[in-house]
Amino acid sequence: MAKADLQTIVILGAGAGGLAAAIALGAAGYRVLVLEAAAGPGGKLRQVTAAGQAYDAGPTVLTMKWVFDGLLARCGLRLEDGLPLTRADVIARHYWARQDREGGACLDLFADPAESRRAIADFAGADNEEGFRRFTEDSARVFALLRDSFIDAARPNPVSLSRRIGLHRPGALFALQPFTTLWSALGRYFPDPRLRQLFGRYATYCGSSPFLSPATLMLVAHVEQAGLWLVEGGMHALARHLAAIAEGLGVRFLYGEAVRAIHSDAAGQAVTGVEMESGQFIPASQIIYNGDAAALGGLLGQTPAPSRAGGRSRGRSLSALVVCGPARPRGVELAHHTVFFSENYRDEFDAIFRDGRPPDDPTIYVCAQDRDAAGQLGEGHAAGAAERLYCLMNMPADGDRRLYQESDIEKCLTAMDRRLAANGLTAGRLRDAQIVTSPDRFAALYPGSGGALYGKASHGWMASFSRPGSRGPLQGLYLAGGSVHPGPGVPMAALSGKLAADLLMADMGSTSRSRLAATVGGMSMR
């Protein structure tokens, strides 16, 4: 059977996972239709317009470029073909509370580990410099152990992961430190609590608390040092670029098309197609669902189980309050990525995960979208003109249970400005022009999530094994996105799409071989 004769494969969602799946399938010659409820591609790689300018309003960091290079190699392309990229020399700038009139304590991390070691020695002394050397070595080791055995592989269980790494290598298994929290592990490397706070923040990259997440997440340090890239036009340009590549492979996109239900056969065992909100039915025997796994049951007609008051957000990852808009910042110097740390990190995460409320003293991440990695404004930026700022504070994922009123948002913005000022920055946001996205808005954008931006929180050593894998609950249904294996983040979601597409193609190949065997067998019996 020629691939062109096969029924169209339907992908629900044009986020990073759906786009990656579309490219993998299109490159292999399959007919693909992508249905996206939004007006364009991207999913969480979204864009908003404030005061006539476009802002990235979702992920702002591109790492693990090898994921996209491997995907696009299937169609003879590289990521930078038609998408200008710049490798950042400064990974991020970090500020703590201001100790004098000149501003807060500041530390830059660099793409060059030797530069970072020198900066840490100047900032916190020789003991912390030595700790950083050991930390980078161990984080690289953890990443090397997990890249092929877990990150870029079908979802394992603890036993199969141990086999992949090698049961004869107990030292390697011990290096993963699955039963130690990230915060506890950091104490072995860094006497200075500010550095524990800095590297503990890596837990938030998967929407989690460093006090509850496994030490395995130290691998994020290696991921960043292996390459952090700035995309010309912002991260949303990456989504548009991937969609254009998919279209060049013959993939069709229908935007503004929301799906009401996924239908199955009379036995409830295999998918038969999707029903659109418009009432149109699109037949399909292979579907890749690129959405939050928590919303899948509703599309399959399952009634959600009742929950206790306040219990619906249990296990969810972080949400956020994101502010995008023009600003005239004053005070300490911004890099492209700058973090302003709170006074008490544990209190911040206790507020979110234990108490289910916005933190009174949040850590603030600022992306200065008109600046290069080191913080220089572009040549075309007029002197004295406002620049584009993206400010984020972590929030509880309660967007399906709480409607954030203007007074709630104002309280959060006040806490945000108070922390920035304590660390030396007056943001100078032009409030009449800014766009604010709160957890309830994220819940509306991403059905089933409650505003959680990373699926389930990675709390406890079993969390990574509890995410769904590529195979869905029905025959012909496959899963992709940041809420499934291998986890959240743009490259990880892209990997999930590639894994889903590869599994789908393997299943279709197996089916074709079975049909061929049956045909040959029938002929031989005649």
Residue-wise pLDDT tens digits, 370-381: 999 999 998 878
Contact in structure between 116 and 109 (CB atoms under 8 Å): yes
Contact in structure between 42 and 239 (CB atoms under 8 Å): yes
Q: Which long-range contacts (CB under 8 A, 24 or more apart) does 153-162 make?
A: 153/499, 154/469, 154/470, 154/485, 154/499, 154/503, 155/465, 155/467, 155/468, 155/469, 155/470, 155/485, 155/486, 156/465, 157/465, 158/462, 158/465, 161/465
SS3 471: strand
pLDDT at 3 over 80: no
Q: Band of the pLDDT at 511, cuts 50, 70, 90?
A: low
- Residue 264: other Cβ atoms inside 10 A: 19
pLDDT at 13 over 80: yes
Q: What is the pLDDT of residue 466?
A: 82
pTM score over 0.85: yes
The DSSP result for 105-134, as a single string, is EEEEEESSHHHHHHHHHHHH-HHHHHHHHH
Question: Which of 135-144, 392-401, 414-423 has the lowest average pLDDT?
Answer: 135-144
pLDDT at 199 over 50: yes
Burial class for 1, CB neighbours closer than 10 Å (0-12, 13-18, 19+)? exposed
Q: What is the mean pLDDT of the chain?
A: 89
Contact in structure between 348 and 105 (CB atoms under 8 Å): no
pLDDT at 162 over 70: no
Tokens read off for 87: 């490798």
Mean local confidence (pLDDT), 249-271: 96
Query: Is the bond leading into 486 cis (omega within 30 degrees of zero)?
Result: yes
Read off the amino acid at residue 401: R
The DSSP result for 348-370, as a single string, is HHIIIIIS-S--SS--EEEEETT
CA dist list (Å): 371 to 78, 234, 366, 376, 387: 25, 11, 11, 5, 9
Q: Band of the pLDDT at 61, cuts 50, 70, 90?
A: very high
- Residue 244: other Cβ atoms inside 10 A: 12
Mean local confidence (pLDDT), 86-106: 85
Which three-class secondary structure string do you get for 365-434? EEEECCECCCCCECCCCCCCCCEEEEEEEEECCCCCCCCCCHHHHHHHHHHHHHHHHHCCEECCECHHHC
Q: What is the pLDDT of residue 521?
A: 43
Kindly list the structural domains of the chain, giving each domain's residue range(s) and its CATH number in brackets, ordered by start.
Answer: 3-51+234-305+460-518 (3.50.50.60), 112-225 (no CATH)
Q: What is the pLDDT of residue 7?
A: 80
Residue-wise pLDDT tens digits, 298-352: 999 987 654 444 444 579 999 999 999 999 999 999 999 999 999 999 999 999 9
